[in-house]
Structure 1
Amino acid sequence: MYTIDRAPFPDITFYDSEGKGHTFEEFKGYYVYIDIWASWCVPCCKEIPHLQKLEKELRNPAVKFLSISIDRNEKSWKKKIAEMDLQGNQWLNKNNEISSRLNITAIPRFLLYDKDGQLINIDAFRPSNPQTKEMLEKLK
């Protein structure tokens, strides 16, 4: 499961749909399963219903979910949030700094960080993979 040396989450400010700034520090003390996606990415949008279901069904309080869009067009991102009735932590990274800082060249990409904000897996299972729920339930 561990595919990369531990590295801290980049110090980047993200924005929610109301324009409020957020940083990864908000998740200190939790495992964080992150979805890097974009509104124009068909495979990304196909994973979203699986992710939303996983968020509702997971019974592990040690795990938080975060979706980070790399859309450059904020209107398109907000429109997709509304269309798909996306809930939870939906953050925007307009300048796509997250992809360059983590060397992500393809999306969707799912990441897993530990309780100290250190990267565990830069290519975690997708939410549509039945092993994902099992793996997240085991985290303590």
Structure 2
Amino acid sequence: MRTGRIVLSGMFGFAVRRTPMQTNPVRETKLARNIAPKGRTAGAGGLTIDQLRFILSAVRTSQLPCPRKLSKAERQRGTPVKAYTPPTVAEYCEGADLVDIITVYAATGLRRSQMLGTDGALLDHWFALILPMSPSPFLPPATRLDR
């Protein structure tokens, strides 16, 4: 809110100096105080257990057709493709190897950048653990792994 006010004040200040505008309307306004935020102001929320169960079962067993974005050539084509049958969600996820990735995300709770930051030395197959790569910018220094 303050940044927007600063930018607008600068723009109107320039307009006052260069045009017949008499006053800067932003300068006379006051910032609103104690305004409650509207809805979620942070990132994505967590999933409930039922939502997670639904996602994990859908990527393996869903029979719904998977929506597909047509390529530019297909959109510009005068006649539609006749022999195309869209894959099911489960077939698409299996073909794109999404089932395993989604399962690992659900099991570990790591962020995408943390998952990409793991290497083979930090995979513990005996205890089935995946540890984020050290040093990770997402972990405080006291919890980082030392190599």
Higher relative CO (Cα under 8 Å, sequence separation at least 6) belongs to 1
TM range (shorter): under 0.3
Calculate the TM-score normalised by the size of structure 2: 0.18
Question: Which structure has the larger Rg?
Answer: 2
More strand, by proportion: 1
More helix, by proportion: 2
